[in-house]
Structure 1
Amino acid sequence: MPVANGEVPVLIVGGGPVGLTARALLARWGVQALLVEKHSELSPFPRSRLVNVRSMEIYRQLGLAAEITANAFRPEYGRIRFRDTLHAHDFATAAMIGINAPVPETPVIGAVTSQDRLEPTLLAATDAPMRFGVELIDLTEEAGSVVAVLVDHQSGEETRVRARYVLATDGANSTVRQRLGIDTTGPGAMGGFTTVVFNADLDRWCADRPAGVYFTAHGLFAPLYPEGGWAWFVPTPEDAARPDWPGLVARALGPGADVQAEVLRVQHWVMNAFVAERLRHGRILLAGDAAHAIPIVGGMGMNAGIADAHNLCWKLAGVLHGWADAKLLHTYETERHPVAHRTLRQAVANTHLMVRVHNQRREQLRTTSGATPPPMELPWSDRYFAQLGLVLGVTYHSDAVLTDGTDSTDGTDSSASPEPPDTGTDYVPTAKPGHRMPHLWLSHNRSTLDAFGEWFTLLTPDPTHWERHTTAPWPVRIEALPGKHAERCGLRPHGALLVRPDGHIGARWCDRPPSGSTLHQALAAITGSVRP
């Protein structure tokens, strides 16, 4: 077979939401990337169903939030409902906080939307090269690069691509991770499941009680698109080779439903729960499901992967553009690995709670002896599945974060707060280094989060003073922070916050900096630069 050769700064392996987001971010940051996807097209299956507020903040930065929202369900679908059958009444319900209505902690609202509706938007976000039907079959690290061997499934042609870095976003069964011999930790496979995509008229039971997810005793039902379509998620039957899927769907809808289901597609999959032992191997980095496979309850897996890409891509851009040292990439694993473990623990806990709901309901039905039981109180608070503490309260501790000596609440820092609880329920905004910069309105419809981009942002109530500080060669923009916000962020009149391109605070000076070289030194330290 003929072998062609090529070179690219970044090779992305895997064309799901995480790989596509990384492709868009790198393009925005001026880095050439090639994305290869072994399948011949984007996946036709709904898969992930939720874009949380942190992901939507990232897509707002990319200019994609409005289109994603336009293609998604209305906010009232940001709710989960529990029923004995789909055509029964709710015995419990809960809101998806941050999805069903705005929350003051962010300028965006999350969205209930299917992954196959999200991916075309991400694909169209940039014209960076992407090759469908091309699979990575081997890779070798060499001095200063990685050589990947790719095969085109249609032509059979092999291509050798030399990349400065490889980003593996190729899923829970990652070829790259397996080639590198990186092991995983966690529960592992939690069972086989099947997704059945079908058309049916279910409006009579759902139109006036909308939800993004209906949990029933016979599986999980989810509306797919505002214009129609449904998915049924169920443990894979023992004989799944040639079952009567329309009949199974009809029976799962419950006795007396009398609904004809037109089955369109069926997919079998394994729900995995693990975290890779390492997220980096030399010039090869893992993100998304390749780095951490998260159970679906709570909708955190895809969103954690999008945050991975957001954390990593500005660092790759800095290294490739020359204003950051390669050791900055060490901080990717240092910062994201703990988040992956915490997210996995939360998703497993969510799964156990869902099982507990159904067990309690079965017991309730058993003890009422055929009578209609009363509504059931869920075994969690209304904000439990909000998990804003996990998605907005992530704190990074690494060499890319400079502490400012206010780690304890001592009365001098109005923004100081403890680490969020492990449930991820509560989020207390704080402007301490390592945290996501809080959302504060700078002007009408312009948030502090809108000030961030392909640069470092210096937020200060005294821009004139800080403009005298030298920042070359790093990209830096200085932004005025109104005095009322400065006080909330623990800043005096001449203080400042240095915010990284990913929106996390890299450094804070509560008052006037000690010298004219303070900002230069901070940027050098955060980016691992050896420049004087």
Structure 2
Amino acid sequence: MPVGDVEAEVLIVGGGPVGLTARALLERWGVRTLLVEKHRELSPFPRSRLVNVRSMEIYRQLGLAAKITATAFPQEYGRIRFRDTLHDHDFATAAMVGVNAPVPESPVIGAVTSQDRLEPTLLAAADAPARFGVELIDLTEGAENVAASLIDHQSGEETRVRARYAIAADGANSTVRQRLGINTAGPGAMGGFTTVVFDADLNHWRAHQPAGVYFTAHGSFAPLYPEGGWAWFAPTPQDAARADWPGLVSHALGPKADVRAEVLRVQHWVMNAFVAERFRRGRILLAGDAAHAIPILGGLGMNAGIADVHNVCWKLAGVLQGWAEPSLLETYETERQPVAHRTLRQAVANTQLMRDVQSRRRDQLRTGEAPPDHVELPWSERYFAQLGLVLGVTYDSAAVLTDDSAAPEPSESGTDYVPTTRPGHRMPHLWLTPNRSMLDTFGEWFTLLTPDPTRWQQQAATPRPLRIEPLPAEHTAFCGLGPRGALLIRPDGHVGARWRDRPRSDSTLCNALTAITRSTPL
């Protein structure tokens, strides 16, 4: 191999939460990876603020949920509040259901935490090489691999990498997506915004009414860490280069605040809203913001990216380890692109609803009369739960063996989640013991859940990773199974197949695994 060349099974481009999660997942599968990130260090900015309940289920599987929770805010911060200024009383508020308190639909609870607290935990979760300050400058695909050219910005050294596959998790302005010539569809840029990270003594205004974010008439304020620190989010002013950021933040806090903000960092960014027209080009797969840029309202963007790599990493592992055909990778776009479009619609709706609340308040203030103490929200308390969107994701592809059952009606708002074991859906959470969820039986393998493990054990000879778990009798009716039925759960926790009663033949299970991993009709 020529000097300067590096080999890996999967090259991961991008060192944000999505790329780091992919690295941790693939290491669990025994896949050799190399992660490269053009910035010299992890992001010092808070960026994404919410790890939703589905992402926390994935991190529970990786053994990271407790570590993430340990540096996150207490549950009572899982709420949004609307105020005229930060020091005023709420005129509207809504809970983030699944974050502000436990929900029966999951063994975990979401977390309000800053991305710069999350990323170090994800980086430490794997030992695979991660090179920061190294930028991808070229990427080509061959018959058997992809070839990438990288440049180290500190040393100026150029490195060539050969990998079997590449995951592009390099953000909304993805270099990889642009080099592949993949277009996007959607509203596009929704405006320029600025994040100002600052220190100020504001705790007495949030002490009795904590929140993950406070929306005000002069921008949004968010506490960054349990021990202190704040961020202000607002539209970027026209002359940003000469802006008096401490003065702007102090003005936004309101005249009663009498606080001078100590500005630590300033970042300008564009709120994008689009979905890539393709999530895959040959051996190169897009994930996270590279595949779909989601407006920040509702905290859906990063979490959608985490679900992307949870979907694709087991498929890559199967192809690389030889127990799945390359055609399985075709199901990644088939399954995740519709979810991205639905998520984008929801986030755009969230943005409009937030504007509606603030517009109502401005209209009331313009009348000159004393505004009411409360503004009725244009959504229910459950709106920001969106459990139907994050737990009710359904996949319809050749990697799912459908049965004759009817699909639950999806809720338009994404709030309502109806647990079901219908193929394609996330397997619902059920407690097996006081501390062990059904979801804890899933991992780097297919899982067969059945009340009759002895009968199905006779079919367990397969080259694919498989574990058989007994299903307690009290759960069989809920799962829609008879005494000899079974559910086949994919490594990403989605139901791949369901047999309501005894297997049709001695090869039923093997045939199903073959069909799923080859993505061919049974």
Same fold by TM-score greater than 0.5:
yes
Q: Is the 8 A contact 1:387 1:424 kept in 2?
A: yes
| Structure 1 match to 2:356 | 356
- In structure 1, what is the Cα distance between the partners aligned to 2:506 and 2:226? 56
Which runs of structure 2 are paired with 1:213-232 in the superposition (5 Å)? Answer: 213-232=213-232
Q: In structure 2, what residue type is equivalent to 1:511?
A: D
| Structure 2 match to 1:174 | 174
Provide the secondary structure at the position in 1 that maps to 2:353: helix
| Structure 2 match to 1:285 | 285
| Structure 2 match to 1:414 | none
Q: In structure 2, what residue type is equivalent to 1:333?
A: E
| Structure 1 match to 2:377 | 378
Q: In structure 2, what residue type is equivalent to 1:451?
A: T
| Structure 1 match to 2:392 | 393
- In structure 1, what is the Cα distance between the partners aligned to 2:388 and 2:105? 11
- In structure 2, what is the Cα distance between the partners aligned to 1:468 and 1:72? 46
Gaps of 5+ in 2: none
Residues 1:471 and 2:465 aligned together: no
| Structure 2 match to 1:135 | 135
Q: In structure 2, what residue type is equivalent to 1:434?
A: G
- In structure 1, what is the Cα distance between the partners aligned to 2:396 and 2:418? 18
Q: In structure 2, what residue type is equivalent to 1:137?
A: I
- In structure 2, what is the Cα distance between the partners aligned to 1:422 and 1:179? 36
- In structure 2, what is the Cα distance between the partners aligned to 1:437 and 1:199? 44
Superposed displacement of residue 529, structure 1? 7.5
- In structure 1, what is the Cα distance between the partners aligned to 2:476 and 2:449? 9
- In structure 2, what is the Cα distance between the partners aligned to 1:323 and 1:273? 37
Q: Is the 8 A contact 1:10 1:163 kept in 2?
A: yes
Superposed displacement of residue 136, structure 1? 0.4
| Structure 1 match to 2:241 | 241
Judge which range, 371-380 or 113-122, deviates more: 371-380
Superposed displacement of residue 372, structure 1? 4.3
Judge which range, 520-529 or 53-62, deviates more: 520-529
Q: In structure 2, what residue type is equivalent to 1:108?
A: V
Residues 1:318 and 2:315 aligned together: no
Superposed displacement of residue 364, structure 1? 1.4
Superposed displacement of residue 36, structure 1? 0.2
Q: What's the CA shift string for 1:303-360, capped at 9, x where partnerless?
A: 0000001000000000011100000000000000000000000000000001100110
Which runs of structure 2 are paired with 1:145-184 in the superposition (5 Å)? Answer: 145-184=145-184
| Structure 2 match to 1:452 | 442
Superposed displacement of residue 472, structure 1? 1.6
Q: Is the 8 A contact 2:489 2:495 kept in 1?
A: yes
- In structure 2, what is the Cα distance between the partners aligned to 1:429 and 1:525? 25
Judge which range, 46-55 or 248-257, deviates more: 248-257
| Structure 2 match to 1:413 | none
Q: What's the CA shift string for 1:92-121, capped at 9, x where partnerless?
A: 111100000000000000000000000000
User: TM-score under structure 1 normalisation?
Assistant: 0.97
Q: Is the 8 A contact 2:177 2:290 kept in 1?
A: yes
Provide the secondary structure at the position in 2 that maps to 1:487: coil
| Structure 2 match to 1:488 | 478
- In structure 2, what is the Cα distance between the partners aligned to 1:253 and 1:245? 12
Gaps of 5+ in 1: 409-416
Q: Is the 8 A contact 2:399 2:519 kept in 1?
A: no
Q: Is the 8 A contact 2:460 2:466 kept in 1?
A: no
Superposed displacement of residue 155, structure 1? 0.9
| Structure 2 match to 1:210 | 210
Judge which range, 151-160 or 190-199, deviates more: 151-160
- In structure 2, what is the Cα distance between the partners aligned to 1:256 and 1:157? 54
Q: What's the CA shift string for 1:208-254, capped at 9, x where partnerless?
A: 11000000000000000000000000000011002111111100001
- In structure 2, what is the Cα distance between the partners aligned to 1:90 and 1:443? 41
Provide the secondary structure at the position in 2 that maps to 1:431: coil
Q: In structure 2, what residue type is equivalent to 1:177?
A: R
| Structure 2 match to 1:63 | 63
Residues 1:339 and 2:329 aligned together: no
Q: Which of 506, 514, 520 is matched with 2:504 structurally?
A: 514
Superposed displacement of residue 299, structure 1? 0.2
- In structure 2, what is the Cα distance between the partners aligned to 1:76 and 1:63? 24
- In structure 2, what is the Cα distance between the partners aligned to 1:243 and 1:291? 33
Superposed displacement of residue 444, structure 1? 1.9
Task: Classify 1:399/1:203 alpha carbon distance in 2 versus 1 (closer, same or farther; 3 Å).
Answer: same
Provide the secondary structure at the position in 1 that maps to 2:476: helix
Provide the secondary structure at the position in 2 that maps to 1:208: coil
Provide the secondary structure at the position in 2 that maps to 1:323: coil
Q: Is the 8 A contact 1:3 1:160 kept in 2?
A: no
Identity %: 78
Q: In structure 1, what residue type is equivalent to 2:265?
A: R
Superposed displacement of residue 486, structure 1? 1.0
Superposed displacement of residue 385, structure 1? 1.2
Q: In structure 2, what residue type is equivalent to 1:160?
A: R
Which runs of structure 2 are paired with 1:19-98 in the superposition (5 Å)? Answer: 19-98=19-98
Q: What's the CA shift string for 1:342-386, capped at 9, x where partnerless?
A: 00000000000011001100111223x242423111110011111
Task: Classify 1:436/1:529 alpha carbon distance in 2 versus 1 (closer, same or farther; 3 Å).
Answer: closer
Q: Is the 8 A contact 2:449 2:470 kept in 1?
A: yes
- In structure 2, what is the Cα distance between the partners aligned to 1:399 and 1:377? 45
Q: In structure 1, what residue type is equivalent to 2:501?
A: D
Q: Is the 8 A contact 1:172 1:289 kept in 2?
A: yes
Q: In structure 1, what residue type is equivalent to 2:235?
A: P
Q: Is the 8 A contact 1:471 1:519 kept in 2?
A: no
Q: In structure 1, what residue type is equivalent to 2:261?
A: A
Q: Is the 8 A contact 1:172 1:292 kept in 2?
A: yes
- In structure 2, what is the Cα distance between the partners aligned to 1:471 and 1:319? 19
- In structure 1, what is the Cα distance between the partners aligned to 2:381 and 2:348? 18
Residues 1:15 and 2:15 aligned together: yes
Q: Is the 8 A contact 1:56 1:109 kept in 2?
A: yes
Instruction: Name the Cα RMSD after superposition.
Output: 1.2
| Structure 1 match to 2:102 | 102
- In structure 1, what is the Cα distance between the partners aligned to 2:73 and 2:94? 17
- In structure 1, what is the Cα distance between the partners aligned to 2:141 and 2:246? 50
Task: Classify 1:3/1:186 alpha carbon distance in 2 versus 1 (closer, same or farther; 3 Å).
Answer: farther
Q: Is the 8 A contact 2:147 2:160 kept in 1?
A: yes
Superposed displacement of residue 59, structure 1? 0.1
Q: What's the CA shift string for 1:5-30, capped at 9, x where partnerless?
A: 12110000000000000000000111
Superposed displacement of residue 418, structure 1? 1.6
Q: Is the 8 A contact 2:114 2:225 kept in 1?
A: yes
| Structure 2 match to 1:435 | 425
Q: What's the CA shift string for 1:285-311, capped at 9, x where partnerless?
A: 000000000000000000000000100
- In structure 1, what is the Cα distance between the partners aligned to 2:519 and 2:475? 31
Q: Is the 8 A contact 2:200 2:259 kept in 1?
A: yes
- In structure 2, what is the Cα distance between the partners aligned to 1:374 and 1:226? 29
Q: In structure 2, what residue type is equivalent to 1:506?
A: G
Provide the secondary structure at the position in 2 that maps to 1:386: coil
Residues 1:502 and 2:492 aligned together: yes
